[in-house]
């Protein structure tokens, strides 16, 4: 919740029960509130479209699509690579070991999982958890772009280089580029931060400090931007 909707809510909480606006103001306020309130509905419609169109490939080998979840009003959007086995079974992103670790680290920096939104570049599990191919990522990109358009985050945190590749089309080594900020190519008001995939940290605990640093930076950017 943010913008005019949050302001109206705050005003109502301190006792304002009416607000006087001119015609132009009313129209503007109405549009903003409708847009804000519509996010859940628009995401639901988007995910129904993905199901119906089946253009986001990889669907056949998996047991269906796994869509994003969390707070659609969040200013930060976390993007992973693809659902794994547990995500495929539960139809929820980041619910396996890597997801539990991510939740823990988010808490550590003062970000609760349910306060942010989490999704993946590809929406179904690649066979044997292999890395999705550029073609598979391309087929799902229009839907990820739509998710971003609806959520309108200030910051997209790419969990791993594959997520970054899916968004920017660039294959950059995470060990060299983590912590770097990029422009989101489809909306220059949105920044993209590259960090490690939580599964990488589970295999390489030495990188945990940098991962936590990146999460802290994300939290900080959100409070200043």
Question: Which of the ranges 27-35, 44-52, 88-96, 186-194 carries the binding residues for ligand URA, by CB under 6 A?
Answer: 88-96
Q: Judged by CB, which is closer to ligand URA: 72, or 124?
A: 124
Q: How many residues bind ligand URA (CB under 6 A)?
A: 12
Among 36, 87, 165, 214, binds ligand URA (CB under 6 A): 87
100: Cβ–Cβ under 8 A, 6 or more apart, which residues? none
How far apart (Å, rounded) are the C-alpha atoms in residues 64 and 117? 20
Instruction: Kindly tell me which residue out of 71, 103, 120, 124 binds ligand URA, with binding defined by CB under 6 A.
Output: 120
Q: How far is CA 134 from the centre of its chain?
A: 20
Instruction: Give the span between the Cα atoms of 171 and 134, in whole angstroms.
Output: 10
What's the closest the beta carbon of residue 102 comes to ligand URA, in angstroms?
A: 9
Interacting residue with ligand URA among 80, 126, 153, 166 (CB under 6 A): 80
Does residue 68 belong to the site contacting ligand URA (CB under 6 A)?
no
Q: Are 9 and 41 in contact (CB under 8 A)?
A: no
Question: Which residue's Cβ lies closest to ligand URA?
Answer: 80
Q: Is 132 in the site for ligand URA (CB under 6 A)?
A: no
Q: Would you say 36 and 3 are in contact if contact means Cβ atoms under 8 Å apart?
A: yes
Nearer residue to ligand URA within complex by CB, 84 or 153: 84
For 150, 153, 154, 157, the CA distances from 219, given in Å and listed in that order, are: 21, 13, 11, 11
Bridge partners (DSSP) listed for residue 165: none
Closest CA to 105 of 157, 161, 173: 157
β-partners of residue 77 are 117, 156
Q: Does 194 bind ligand URA (CB under 6 A)?
A: no
Return the closest-CA partner of residue 68 out of 46, 36, 98.
46
Residue 84 interacting with ligand URA (CB under 6 A): yes
**Token pair in block for residue 9:** 């809510």
Instruction: Please tell me whether residue 94 binds ligand URA under the rule CB under 6 A.
Output: yes
- Nearer CB in complex with ligand URA: 72/166: 166
Least distance (Å) from ligand URA to the CB of residue 8? 35
d(CA 141, CA 153): 17
Does 70 sit near ligand URA (CB under 6 A)?
no
Q: Is 99 in the site for ligand URA (CB under 6 A)?
A: yes
Site residues (vs ligand URA, CB under 6 A) = 80-84, 87, 93-94, 96, 98-99, 120
């Amino acid at each position: 919740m943010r913008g005019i909707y949050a302001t109206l809510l705050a005003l109502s909480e301190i006792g304002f029960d009416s607000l006087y606006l001119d015609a132009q103001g009313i129209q503007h306020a109405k549009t903003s509130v409708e847009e804000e309130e519509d996010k859940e509905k628009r995401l639901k419609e988007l995910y129904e479209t993905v199901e119906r169109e089946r253009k986001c490939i990889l669907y056949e080998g998996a047991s269906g699509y796994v869509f994003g979840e969390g707070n659609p009003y969040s200013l930060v959007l976390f993007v992973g690579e693809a659902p794994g086995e547990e995500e495929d079974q539960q139809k929820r992103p980041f619910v396996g070991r890597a997801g539990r670790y991510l939740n823990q680290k988010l808490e550590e920096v003062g970000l609760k999982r349910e306060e942010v939104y989490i999704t993946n570049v590809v929406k179904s599990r690649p066979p044997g958890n292999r890395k999705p191919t550029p073609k598979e990522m391309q087929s799902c990109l229009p839907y990820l772009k739509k998710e971003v358009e609806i959520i309108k985050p200030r910051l997209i945190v790419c969990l791993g280089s594959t997520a970054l590749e899916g968004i920017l089309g660039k294959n950059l080594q995470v060990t060299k580029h983590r912590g770097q900020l990029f422009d989101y190519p489809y909306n220059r008001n949105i920044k993209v931060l590259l960090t490690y995939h939580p599964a990488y940290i589970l295999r390489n605990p030495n990188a945990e400090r940098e991962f936590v640093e990146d999460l802290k930076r994300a939290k900080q950017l959100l409070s200043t931007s």
